Structure 1
Amino acid sequence: MNRKIRNTLFKFHTWLGLHLSLFFTFMFLTGTLLVAGFELESVGRSGIWTTMAKEERTASFGMTYDGIKEAHPESGIFLIIKRPTPWFVDRAFGRAGWGERMSFWTDPVTGTVVEATRPLGFRDILRALHDTLLTEQRVVFMLICATSAVLLFQIISGLITYRRFWRGFFRWPSGSGGLRSWSGGAHRLTAVWTAPLLILIAVTSLYFLLGSLGIESAQPQPEPPTPRDSALPANFNSALIDQAEARARAALPGFEPSIMFLPGKKTDSLRFSGPVDGYSGFFGSGSVSIDPVTLEVLGAFTPDDIHGYASWKPLMSMLHFGTWGGGFSMALWIVLGLLATGLAFTGALIFAARQAPDRAHRGPLRKIWRGMGWTRWGYLLLLAGILVTAFYRFGPNSHDKTRAFPINEAPLVARLVMEAPLRRGVPLDIEMLIGEPDVQTAAIEINGDMAELLDFTKNGDTAKAYFQLTPSDTENNITARLRKPDDQEKVVKFRLGAPLW
């Protein structure tokens, strides 16, 4: 390549590097922390860590379901994962009786609950920050993914302008020439070591961008289940789960279910997912869907049944998140990610070191900041937007509404809506939406004692009742007696359970 083209590439490389250095530093650092996000979040939770070998983890899905229901009978469960990582106990996702999403960590031998945690922790917040700058907006995700094209250009142009870069793997930066010499050497050293990782990150991010644009392949679909009146049939229990798992194993030889999806709607099936003998995990898992009423196999699929764009998703996810080799690959991705963070920062330091001597009174960071020109105001606006979004989403009054449904009636008869989650010692305002027609009055009992009805309003056939709950540490059972004009009374019962925090 002639010198003119090389110099042009170098100018683009340095200009883009200067103005995007802070952005890439931020993305590399948050991405690196995300690799071990669950582990960092769980440092103080000794109960969920384990050294138990895979062969010793004998708890079935049915045992885990029973363990959760015994500890939290009012809970709803929608996903159980066996061995989420070799160093964690089993994990289930569900809802508390008052409707708040949470995780249940269960013993991999007995299935008993060892800890319950709120899912919105450090890792979830960090991922939202990394993916969408906390906005959870698809367009922001697409814009962030699109910067992977810039990253790919930076890698390629940097390697082209660094002549004979393969000789620089062990060329330690020298500080004898001052900041400029050291930052240049450190930038080149970290570049050659992290180039493979950054190429993978750029390519996988472009893949995620295509997915966000709606490029999807047809997935194999199971047959619809038998029609039923509720998401879970009346006889749904651990014995039924164990029978369904046995049917799933028989339907797909070599199938080892590790994930179970419980029906969340009346039209959902009971689905098992996991590795299949003879198929590499890099290209997905097997999947078997079971009718929760008849236990009929509705569909059994191997990774070969997934074609086109979707067939690459498991591999792309493993490469991007560093899970392709278990603990080893995660540790490698963390080390290389930290080096990539240094790569982005040292690139900006090179600019600072090249400033004219009359600016020597300015420190490196000040030189970088001034050198960015108008871009720095964009960073300030971006930071302000993130802070405002963070306050809106995670501030003191940012709780999502939660809902609780009756245990003895259809959800449309009545349901509870709460602006805040159930917490120890914190009075909770509750709105009861009444869908039963012609209800004239309502009487509320909390744990057997009459509660004061703060307000009752009617709107056509529907009504709303308002009352306040002072949480009990043992149980929080609510009974609503809905009275009609002919003195007919409908009794609706809710079971919120005990507050966990």
Structure 2
Amino acid sequence: MTRKFRNQLFRLHTWIGLFLSAFFTFMFLTGTLLVAGFEIESIGRPEIWTTLQEDERTASFGQIYDGIKSAHPEGKAFVILKHPKSWLVDRTFGHTGWGERVSYWTDPATGTVVYETGDPGFSTILAGLHDTFLIDNRFVFILISAMSIPLLFQMVSGLITYRRFWKGFFRWPSSAGGFRMWAGGAHRLTALWAAPLVFLIAITSFFFLLGGLGIEGGKLKFQPTAPREAALPDGFDGTVINAAEAKARAALPGFHPVTLTLPGGKAGSLKFIGQHEDFSHFRGETTVAVDPLTLEVLDIYTPADFRGLARVNLLMEMLHYGTWGGPFSMALWIVLGLVATGLAFTGSLIYAARLAPPSQAEGSFKRVWRGMGFVRWIYLLLLMGILAVVYWRVNPDAYVPSRVHPVDANGAVAQLVLHEPLRRDTLIEIELRIGAPDVSAALVEVNGTTAQSVDLARDGDKALGRFRFEPLESGNEVIAYLKKPDGTEQKVTFRMGNPIW
């Protein structure tokens, strides 16, 4: 390789590094923290940690579901994860009775609820920052994932321009030649040690880019279930779930489900997901769909049924998130992630040292800031936007409105909308949203008290009203009486259940 080409490649490497080093530093740091983000978040939650061995985690999906319904009768479960990690109890994603997102944590041996966590938490915010800067926009996700291309170029060009790089794995940076020489030595050393991780991150991020562009491979298609009146049929409980699991296991011997997704609509099925003994852990997961009404096995999909990029989706996720080897790989990814963060940061220091002599009064940060030109204003605007979104997501007044559907009528008739979270001993105002036509008046009975009139205002085809609500330790029932001009009345009952926090 000619010296001229090598020099041109090096100049391009430094130019890209100048503008993207801050971005890569942020991404490597947040990604590293995410590997153990939930563990960091849960340091003060001893209830969700466990030392039970695999053979002691005997709670079935049915026991877990019944345990949640026993503790929170009005709550809903959507995804049950048995053995999310060996050191955590079982986790179920769901909603509270008043519609707020929640995770129910249950004992792996008995299925009883031991703790509840709300959303968003530290790990959720961190994941949002890492994926889309909390903007939750597909275009932003594609743009961030596309940075895998310059990241891969930076690693390849860096190794090409670092002659005989294989001799530098144990070459500690020297400060004898000043700050610039030390920064260069530290950059080369961290690059060599972080190279395996950075290459994998670049490749897996490019894979996620293809997914964001819609190139995902074949998607699983599930047969429709028998017609029913609700998402879950009458009498649905843990016994039904256990019977459905037995059907799934009998239909596919060697299948070991660890995840259950419950239907959210009238046409959804119970989907048991897990490993099959005929397929490697890295090949992907097997899914067996069962009709919750008839308990008929509808579909069986093994990793052999995946097509295109879907064949390697699970492998890409495990490599990117560091879960391929359990605690060992997570610890390794954290260490290498910190090294990669140092790699991106020292790249900025090298540029600062080249831009002006170390003896100059201007600091390294100012040199880098001045050298980035107009790009620095993009970074500044991005930082201000991120801080604003973070504040909006985590400040005490931030709350995504939740909805409560009636237990004895269709949700189109009326709904309760909570613009504030339901909390113990906290008076809130609830909105009554009426979709039933021609309702001219409404009375609201709160927790058995005398019914009070609600002033209604029109919003298109809907009528809106508000009333004050102070939650009790249990119950929290609201009965709305919807009156029409012809004197007819419809009773609609809402149950929000016990406050958790």
TM-score (norm 1): 0.96
**Is 1:277 matched up with 2:308?**
no
Q: Is the 8 A contact 2:443 2:454 kept in 1?
A: no
State how far apart, in whole Å, the 2-side matches of 1:410 and 1:118 are. 27
Q: Which residue of 1 aligns with 2:490?
A: 490
**Is 1:47 matched up with 2:32?**
no
2:147 match: secondary structure = helix
The residue type equivalent to 2:2 in the other structure is N
Q: Which residue of 2 aligns with 1:131?
A: 131
Q: Is the 8 A contact 1:440 1:483 kept in 2?
A: yes
State how far apart, in whole Å, the 2-side matches of 1:439 and 1:384 are. 47
Matched ranges for 1:143-158 at <5 A: 143-158=143-158
State how far apart, in whole Å, the 2-side matches of 1:62 and 1:481 are. 37
User: How much has 1:257 moved relative to structure 2?
Assistant: 0.7
Q: Which residue of 1 aligns with 2:383?
A: 383
User: How much has 1:76 moved relative to structure 2?
Assistant: 1.0
User: How much has 1:486 moved relative to structure 2?
Assistant: 5.1
Q: Is the 8 A contact 2:284 2:314 kept in 1?
A: yes
Deviations 1:248-302 (A, max 9, x none): 1111111001000001001111111001002112121110000111100000111
State how far apart, in whole Å, the 1-side matches of 2:307 and 2:377 are. 46
Deviations 1:22-52 (A, max 9, x none): 1111111001001111111111100000111
Q: Is the 8 A contact 2:231 2:267 kept in 1?
A: yes
Q: Which residue of 2 aligns with 1:38?
A: 38
The residue type equivalent to 1:275 in the other structure is Q
Deviations 1:216-266 (A, max 9, x none): 222232221001111111121111101000001111111001000001001
Matched ranges for 1:257-276 at <5 A: 257-276=257-276
Bigger mean CA deviation after superposition, 436-445 or 53-62: 436-445
Deviations 1:296-322 (A, max 9, x none): 000011110111111111011111111
User: How much has 1:461 moved relative to structure 2?
Assistant: 7.2
Deviations 1:313-350 (A, max 9, x none): 10111111111001100100000000000001111111
Q: Which residue of 1 aligns with 2:102?
A: 102
The residue type equivalent to 1:450 in the other structure is T
Q: Which residue of 2 aligns with 1:327?
A: 327
User: How much has 1:462 moved relative to structure 2?
Assistant: 5.0
Q: Which residue of 1 aligns with 2:242?
A: 242
Q: Is the 8 A contact 2:231 2:264 kept in 1?
A: yes
Q: Is the 8 A contact 2:441 2:454 kept in 1?
A: no
User: How much has 1:435 moved relative to structure 2?
Assistant: 3.1
Provide structure 2 residue ranges, at least 5 long, that are not aligned to the other structure: none
Q: Which residue of 2 aligns with 1:455?
A: 455
Matched ranges for 1:363-382 at <5 A: 363-382=363-382
Q: Which residue of 2 aligns with 1:343?
A: 343
Provide structure 1 residue ranges, at least 5 long, that are not aligned to the other structure: none
Bigger mean CA deviation after superposition, 289-298 or 477-486: 477-486
User: How much has 1:213 moved relative to structure 2?
Assistant: 0.6
Q: Is the 8 A contact 1:94 1:102 kept in 2?
A: yes
Q: Which residue of 2 aligns with 1:439?
A: 439
State how far apart, in whole Å, the 2-side matches of 1:477 and 1:199 are. 56
Deviations 1:348-381 (A, max 9, x none): 1112222444862222222222222222222111
The residue type equivalent to 2:321 in the other structure is F
Q: Which residue of 1 aligns with 2:29?
A: 29
1:275 match: secondary structure = strand
1:353 match: secondary structure = helix
The two structures, once aligned, show a CA RMSD in angstroms of: 1.7
1:258 match: secondary structure = strand
The residue type equivalent to 1:86 in the other structure is S
State how far apart, in whole Å, the 2-side matches of 1:368 and 1:459 are. 54
Q: Is the 8 A contact 1:152 1:199 kept in 2?
A: yes
Q: Give the % identical residues.
A: 57
Matched ranges for 1:49-448 at <5 A: 49-357=49-357, 360-448=360-448
User: How much has 1:142 moved relative to structure 2?
Assistant: 0.7
The residue type equivalent to 1:348 in the other structure is S
Bigger mean CA deviation after superposition, 161-170 or 356-365: 356-365
The residue type equivalent to 2:100 in the other structure is E
State how far apart, in whole Å, the 2-side matches of 1:481 and 1:174 are. 80
Q: Which residue of 1 aligns with 2:8?
A: 8
The residue type equivalent to 2:169 in the other structure is F
2:456 match: secondary structure = strand
User: How much has 1:397 moved relative to structure 2?
Assistant: 4.0
2:256 match: secondary structure = coil
- Residues 442 and 454 (structure 1), Cα distance of their counterparts in 2 relative to 1, 3 Å cut: closer
State how far apart, in whole Å, the 2-side matches of 1:201 and 1:461 are. 51
State how far apart, in whole Å, the 2-side matches of 1:436 and 1:145 are. 46
User: How much has 1:468 moved relative to structure 2?
Assistant: 1.3
- Residues 460 and 143 (structure 1), Cα distance of their counterparts in 2 relative to 1, 3 Å cut: closer
1:450 match: secondary structure = coil
2:79 match: secondary structure = strand
